[in-house]
């Protein structure tokens, strides 16, 4: 299995003193860069504990350090050195979305189905929550997942998104409807009756659409659902579909369209309005965002 070049995890900050003392006794040099509790370095290895409790480890000696010290002494689990022993191998569908917080670009929902063999392959690929990957890594990994696993991707570009939002008048209800459409399609394709969804609203929002469609599915809604490897695979496909959508809009309007909802986003939207008229917002942005008013009033 390919191990990542940098390992990141969360630890209980009550372990800070033990970790620092252990590292000093192992010959690490300790320093305290900004936003860290400490950083420890020795040849072939560096280890940084941030104020948030995030711990990062990197260097050519990383694997041995994690397997022989960090896992048994601090983490008390062996997910890094033996991930398959901790995998849920039950066949299931995972669902996630991307683009809901971005002013520009599509809303993308992805569903992925994996059985035991495919779950093991996803693990060997190093699949995890899309937020832990760079955009370039997402775009490399997504085709491998699409080739390996049955999947459904629904991409709502702004014109369609805005039309549907006018119908639902609520983002969570729109999200629930699209998630259930993807789930229904993938369940029919695969015959799978178990699914895990990264929870984004009160459970009844999605459950009401499941009942409307009369779906016979055991659906679990989890906060931090991307910790499940099949949901993580769906998060990667959704993110890749969103990135591709942003690129398509950039090419169509001959301007580099930014992600998010920053001041730069407002500036680019104003440039588009000057060039193409106010109606361009309906074709490129999610117009119910308050960012629309920032564009119109500035």
**128 and 243 both lie in a single domain:** yes
Q: What percent of the chain has pLDDT over 70?
A: 96
Residue 159 is assigned to a structural domain of this protein: yes
**160 and 237 both lie in a single domain:** yes
**107 and 172 both lie in a single domain:** yes
**152 and 198 both lie in a single domain:** yes
Does the pLDDT value for residue 8 go beyond 60? yes
pLDDT tens profile 274-291: 999 999 999 999 999 999
**228 and 118 both lie in a single domain:** yes
**226 and 105 both lie in a single domain:** yes
**131 and 241 both lie in a single domain:** yes
Last residue of a domain, one of 84, 114, 140: 84
Helical segments of the chain, H only: 16-25, 62-65, 116-125, 135-148, 158-168, 171-190, 203-212, 229-253, 263-276, 280-284, 291-296
Does the pLDDT value for residue 4 go beyond 70? no
Residue 224 is assigned to a structural domain of this protein: yes
Residue 46 is assigned to a structural domain of this protein: yes
pLDDT tens profile 18-29: 999 999 999 999
DSSP state letter for 258: P
- In this predicted structure, what is the pLDDT of residue 86? 64
The model's confidence at residue 5, banded by pLDDT at 50, 70 and 90, is: confident
**Which CATH number fits the domain that encloses residue 137?**
3.30.420.10
Residue 96 is assigned to a structural domain of this protein: yes
- In this predicted structure, what is the pLDDT of residue 290? 92
- Total domains in the chain come to 3
- In this predicted structure, what is the pLDDT of residue 127? 87
Tokens 């620092």, located at residue: 20
Angle between helices 116-125 and 135-148 (to 10 degrees): 160
Handedness of CA 71, 73, 74, 75 (dihedral sign): positive
pLDDT tens profile 126-137: 888 888 788 999
**Which CATH number fits the domain that encloses residue 60?**
3.30.310.10
**167 and 269 both lie in a single domain:** no
Q: CB neighbours of 138 closer than 8 A, spacing ≥ 6?
A: 130, 236, 239, 240, 243
pLDDT tens profile 158-171: 999 999 999 999 99
- In this predicted structure, what is the pLDDT of residue 1? 45
**265 and 243 both lie in a single domain:** no
Residue 252 is assigned to a structural domain of this protein: no
Last residue of a domain, one of 60, 84, 108: 84
Helix (H, G, I), strand (E, B) or coil at 41: strand
- In this predicted structure, what is the pLDDT of residue 283? 97
> To 10 degrees, the CA torsion angle through 165, 168, 173, 178?
-60
The boundaries of the domain holding residue 271 are 257-296
**223 and 140 both lie in a single domain:** yes
**224 and 109 both lie in a single domain:** yes
Question: For all residues of the chain together, what is the average pLDDT?
Answer: 92
Residue 1 is assigned to a structural domain of this protein: no
Last residue of a domain, one of 65, 84, 103: 84
pLDDT tens profile 232-257: 999 999 999 999 999 999 999 999 99
Q: CB neighbours of 122 closer than 8 A, spacing ≥ 6?
A: 114, 145, 148, 149, 229, 230, 232, 233
pLDDT tens profile 47-88: 999 999 999 999 999 989 998 999 889 988 777 766 665 678
Residues facing 57 on adjacent strands: 7, 47
Q: Are 215 and 184 in contact (CB under 8 A)?
A: yes
**151 and 226 both lie in a single domain:** yes
């Amino acid at each position: 299995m390919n191990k990542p070049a940098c390992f990141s995890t969360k630890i209980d900050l009550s372990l800070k003193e033990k970790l620092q003392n252990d590292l000093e006794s192992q010959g690490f040099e300790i320093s305290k860069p900004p936003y860290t509790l400490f950083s420890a370095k020795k040849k072939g290895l560096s280890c940084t504990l941030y104020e948030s409790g995030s711990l990062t480890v990197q260097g050519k000696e990383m694997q041995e350090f994690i397997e022989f010290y960090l896992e048994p002494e601090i983490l008390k689990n062996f997910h890094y050195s033996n991930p398959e022993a901790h995998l849920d191998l039950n066949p299931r569908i995972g669902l996630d979305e991307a683009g809901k917080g971005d002013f520009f670009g599509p809303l993308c929902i992805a569903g992925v189905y994996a059985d035991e063999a495919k779950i093991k392959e996803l693990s060997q690929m190093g699949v995890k929550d899309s937020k832990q990957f760079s955009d370039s890594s997402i775009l490399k990994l997504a085709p491998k997942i699409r080739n390996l696993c049955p999947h459904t991707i629904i991409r709502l570009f702004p014109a369609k998104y805005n039309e549907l939002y006018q119908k639902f008048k609520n983002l969570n209800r729109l999200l629930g409807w699209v998630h259930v459409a993807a789930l229904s399609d993938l369940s029919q394709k695969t015959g799978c009756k178990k699914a895990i969804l990264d929870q984004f609203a009160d459970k009844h929002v999605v459950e009401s659409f499941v009942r409307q469609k009369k779906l016979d599915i055991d659906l679990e809604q989890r906060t931090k659902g991307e910790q499940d490897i099949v949901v993580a695979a769906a998060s990667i496909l959704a993110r890749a579909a969103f990135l591709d959508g942003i690129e398509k809009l950039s090419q169509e309007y001959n301007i580099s369209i930014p992600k998010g909802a920053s001041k730069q986003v407002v500036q680019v939207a104003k440039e588009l309005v000057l060039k193409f008229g106010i109606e361009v917002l309906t074709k490129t942005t999610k117009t119910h965002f308050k960012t629309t008013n920032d564009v119109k009033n500035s």
